[in-house]
Structure 1
């Protein structure tokens, strides 16, 4: 799925619009295990499929921060600022983990550009994102993300 392309000058005109919907990505047990190794968070609910099967979700669940970290590659599918020299994550204003993501589930991002403000060296983008969970009425994550597109 090609990203929407724009320029720094055009970004303010996109404020208040839905940017798009990413492709689905599968959250595999292998990805969960790799994240556990990277973060030293080996809680059984994530990495022990046999024990997790009898746990509260009936299967291993992805770490909330693993699910949140997938925002960036999914966001990258949606918007490309062709004349920005650098894109940096600036922070998060709000994050809610609203549904567990079990191993084998698929998620995708639906994102809107809520505002664009001028900052030294470029523009700050405020993005409202919903990481949808396939087959669920409730999303996996709801996030307000800040990014900077620098000239």
Structure 2
């Protein structure tokens, strides 16, 4: 059919069939999206792994001004962020979480006033951000609907 000199076409009819008792809910949680988009989709799985592995294989350096440091507490911490986690595994997991959820949360372990001794990744789907006036007031780690840990934000350092 032509209208005003331009050809118009009717859209093809769309039919959606669901059998009786079929699950028609849409999955939107982190675990569901990671399962559907990451585990069950070979292309997404490969892309995320290629990016995460590439970053995890890139050596990190610490500089003071323009001088690369051979020894520094941060170098030691990144080489072995936790007793059971090495550099590559930590960064691969962190980048994967970032690509899957848009966030990656790292918590430090060690003395409050001193250097961190260990780093751990927190599951992004369990984090709640509590807003403050300008910055988040706190981050809450929620397990089974209950706040398992609350991380207050230092207003001076963020």
Answer yes or no: same fold by TM over 0.5: no
Larger Rg: 1 or 2?
A: 2
Greater helix fraction, Structure 1 or Structure 2: 2
Structure in which a larger fraction of residues adopt strand: 1
Structure 2 length normalisation: TM-score?
Answer: 0.28
